[in-house]
A and B are shown apart, each in its own frame.
Chain A
């Protein structure tokens, strides 16, 4: 468990470092994910080392977004001023993206579900 947590944080740290050092527009944790995927594929890191920690974090990932969502309360005035274009644009566009992406994948993917 601790070993997995240390590895995850280490890869996040590396990712943050690269993101900042190269001034990339991609956040450090996403780069960390890519680096870890590469290390797993190369066999430098074994997925069993991470299993427990990854399982725990991913089971509760939804909860980690709650504080970010509470931050919306600071911007109620801003949203209230032009609520119609803001809410309609956000809501309709979210469904448009799901339909476009899902249909494209469905149409092009000839593999059986496993």
Chain B
């Protein structure tokens, strides 16, 4: 049993099975809190904790699933290319939307945490929370954040946008696919993008574009804001 749990097969099967069940649950209920990614994460954590299985056992297989994220991000180039005319028509609104989002993300995340009495390490860890994990980790490291905390908050931010991003957008009057995709992609990077891909391929492609551009914008803006207010 112990050997079987240590094999990568355990993490792979557990992830695939849990996700499939979580997706079935979502399709049956259409209840937004039952977002398949969030439900899968919570269920697997509960299972590992209850059965006292170390995270390392899960992760030897988890890593294999995570590996597929790389080519998936590259694959976002395909819908972007196919819808390039509609995207190029809106290049200015898209760029300005992303830069405005990046600035508001840095200031609001750090500002709120600071106002509520967060320590310096915590405040700095929140700065890159809307950026895709590899870029967020790089930024957090550079400015003196707590890197694992940043990684955890990036996932939390992503799940939040995936759970209720499109619903929140409609609530505040954002209805066009372009604006919605951009908003969810800028705020909630890849996890938000995955949800948008399920809603609409064009919105998903714009969200995918926002992952890269918001990462770039935040990486460039943080040192700049640091100079101004640091």
Interface residues of A (CB under 8 A from B): 5, 8-9, 11-12, 15, 25-30, 32-34, 36-37, 40-41, 47, 50-51, 53-54, 57-75, 78-79, 82, 84-86, 88-109, 111, 113-114
Chain A, interface SS category: helix
Question: A86-B122, A96-B104 given. 6 additional CB < 8 A pairs?
Answer: A26-B135, A60-B72, A61-B72, A70-B59, A90-B160, A105-B183
Pull 29 A–B residue pairs with CB atoms less than 8 Å apart, ordered by A: A5-B71, A28-B70, A30-B73, A33-B74, A37-B81, A51-B78, A58-B72, A58-B79, A59-B197, A60-B72, A63-B15, A63-B65, A65-B69, A66-B65, A68-B69, A70-B44, A70-B55, A85-B117, A86-B126, A89-B111, A89-B112, A89-B126, A90-B156, A90-B157, A96-B105, A98-B161, A98-B165, A98-B184, A102-B179
User: CB-CB < 8 A to A37: which residues of B?
Assistant: 77, 80-81
Q: Bound state CA distance, A20 and B72, in angstroms?
A: 20
Q: How far is the CA of A31 from the CA of B124 in the complex (A)?
A: 26
Q: A25-B138, A57-B71, A89-B116 are in contact. Are A67 and B186 (CB under 8 A)?
A: no
Chain A minimum-CB-distance residue to B216: A26
Q: Are B126 and A93 in contact (CB under 8 A)?
A: yes
Chain B contacts for A79, CB-based, 8 A: 149, 152
